[in-house]
Amino acid sequence: MSKLKLIILGALCAPSILLAQSKNRITIQTSLIHCFFDNSPLMNLKYPSKDIKPLKGILLSSVGLCYSRNIKPDFQLSFEAMYFYVGYRKAIIEEINGQAISRGYLTFNLTADKFINFSKKNYFTYGAGLGYRHGDESIGVAYGEIAPGINEVLVELCKRRDLGITGFAGYEYRPYSFLSLFAKIDFLGMIYINDKIARNRLRDYYGISKYPSHFDLSLKLGIGFNF
């Protein structure tokens, strides 16, 4: 009888033990806010195709996945891939020279993450690492009327094949051992800009020095599954 009790107790405890030993995490995340320090809108709201996207594209313009592996209970390595696309309708309508009118990126980050637990379910997280950005951004450099009521914008295209340093700080809540919810402020600063031709042309010919953009400050929200 005692052996039977031990078997039943072991069966009941096994799931909890396995979850407590979870070393992997898959996270689905979105960046609700992006600040490029160039007067572009912070949220993904003002672009021509917003009316045909679910939720008007507020979330679906910036989505990604992250895989994390625990090295220690309070330390993990993470690799994330984020997709971002937005077009700025306001810049086109108001014919703002020297302003980004669209951006499209894939951003990959490799980070080392630390945890400080406030309680069993609440954590402060922070970390840093390397980032790579692949894509392009279009800058409106001149506007003109090609026909009555029809305007045209001259665009300078900056290709992004850039390397940077990323850092973040945030809050994580674990209602269950297999589930994590988080919000974090993420900062990416470029240390290598690949498209020097576009950068020099914008600066020397058009007098625009803020592009290609060097910084990206974002607010990320996500849900993670631990296993």
Q: Which string of DSSP letters, residue by residue, matches 192-215?
A: E-S-HHHHHHHHHHS---S-S--E
Element spanning 30, H or E? strand 24-35
What's the domain count of the chain? 1
Q: Name the 3-class secondary structure at 94.
A: coil
Mean pLDDT, residues 28-37 taken together: 92
Which pLDDT score, from 0 to 100, does residue 53 have? 56
The answer as to whether 7 is a domain residue is no
Lowest mean per-residue pLDDT among 87-91, 96-100, 120-124, 146-150: 146-150
Closest by alpha carbon to 156, among 192, 105, 200?
A: 200
pLDDT at 61: 77
On whether residue 71 sits in a domain, the answer given is yes
**Can you read off the two tokens belonging to residue 163?**
């390397």
In this structure, what is the dihedral angle of CA atoms 39, 211, 219, 186, given to the nearest 10 degrees?
-140
The β-bridge partners of 111 are 78, 129
**Residue 181 domain flag:** yes
**Which amino acid would we find at residue 177?**
S
Mean per-residue pLDDT over the chain, rounded = 84
* Residue 42 in tokens: 């912070």
The average pLDDT across 204-214 equals: 91
Residue 4 domain-assigned (yes or no): no
Write the CB contacts of 18 (distance below 8 Å, at least 6 apart in sequence). Answer: none
Residue 31 falls inside a structural domain: yes
Amino acid at 226: N
CATH of the domain at 58: 2.40.160.20
Which residue type sits at 220? K
pLDDT confidence band for 145 (50 / 70 / 90): confident
CA distance 194 to 213: 12
- Are the C-beta atoms of 120 and 107 separated by less than 8 Å? no
Distance CA(123)–CA(142), nearest Å, equals 49
Average pLDDT over residues 44-48: 51
State which residues form the domain around 201: 23-226
Residue 173 counted as domain residue:
yes
Instruction: Specify whether the CB–CB gap between 212 and 199 falls below 8 A.
Output: yes
Euclidean distance between CA atoms 44 and 57, whole angstroms: 7
Identify the three-state secondary structure at position 183. strand
Distance CA 86, CA 46 (A): 8
pLDDT of residue 32: 85
Query: Which pLDDT band holds residue 204 (cuts at 50, 70, 90)?
Result: very high
Tell me the percentage of the chain whose pLDDT exceeds 90: 60
> Is residue 9 in some structural domain?
no
pLDDT for 58 = 57
φ/ψ region of 149 (left if φ > 0, alpha if ψ in -120 to 50, else beta) reads: left
Q: Is 11 helix (H, G, I), strand (E, B) or coil?
A: helix
Flag whether 80 is in a domain.
yes
Q: What is the pLDDT of residue 62?
A: 86
